[in-house]
């Protein structure tokens, strides 16, 4: 299976996870995250409700130390600011993942490319736009805001 096909497959899994947060995350977006190492899921999560940990945090907790050197598939650019929760981009850096695949960039001015920049500055490979159309359907109102 090509790398693109693999990325699409795992991103579709993250999108399915994100759907579990439909109708409960407002005003936050629906986000899913799958962490993969050696073609095996080692962590997964979704954002269940505003004020609770984000998808990446749940996935990283499940993956534990295995996250080091893994690939994270996230339906929306990891957040880069401190709000009710700390920045997910920093959590991914701390976990030492080697690659982050992002479906949609985050239009929120507090994030808007900053999450990706934090990852890149830490030497993490970042891919943007995998299954973007499918992921965008989950957050049409949020992405147009």
Binned at pLDDT 50, 70 and 90, residue 139 comes out as confident
User: How much is the average pLDDT of 4-23?
Assistant: 92
pLDDT of residue 108: 78
Residue positions annotated with a catalytic role:
56
Instruction: Identify the pLDDT of residue 142.
Output: 60
Residue 136, CA distances (Å) to 22, 33, 34, 37, 94 in order: 13, 15, 17, 26, 27
Residue 100 has a pLDDT of: 98
- pLDDT the model gives residue 76: 94
What average pLDDT does this structure show over 40-68?
94
Residues 6+ apart with CB under 8 A from 103: 11, 14, 15, 73, 74, 75, 76, 129, 130, 131, 132, 134, 135, 136
Domain boundaries, the chain: 3-136
Cα separation of 123 and 55, whole Å? Answer: 22
pLDDT exceeds 80 at position 24? no
Burial class (CB in 10 A: 0-12, 13-18, 19+), 40: exposed
Q: What is the mean pLDDT of residues 80-102?
A: 93
The predicted pLDDT at position 27 comes to 73
pLDDT of residue 109: 77
Whether CATH 3.40.250.10 fits 3-136: no
Among 82-86, 132-136, 138-142, the least confident range: 138-142
pLDDT mean across residues, the chain: 91
Binned at pLDDT 50, 70 and 90, residue 143 comes out as low
């Amino acid at each position: 299976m090509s790398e693109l096909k693999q990325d699409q497959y795992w991103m579709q899994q993250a999108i399915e996870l994100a759907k579990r947060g439909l109708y409960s995350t407002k005003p936050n977006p629906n986000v899913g995250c799958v962490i993969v190492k050696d073609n095996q899921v080692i962590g997964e999560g979704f954002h269940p409700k505003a004020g609770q940990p984000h998808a990446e945090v749940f996935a990283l907790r499940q993956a534990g130390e295995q996250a080091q050197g893994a690939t994270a598939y996230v339906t929306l650019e990891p957040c880069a600011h401190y709000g009710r929760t700390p920045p997910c981009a920093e959590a991914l850096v701390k976990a030492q993942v080697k690659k982050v695949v992002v479906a949609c960039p985050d239009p929120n001015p507090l994030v808007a490319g900053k999450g990706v920049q934090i990852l890149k500055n830490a030497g993490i490979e970042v891919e943007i736009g995998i299954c973007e159309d499918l992921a965008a359907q989950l957050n049409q109102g949020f992405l147009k805001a």
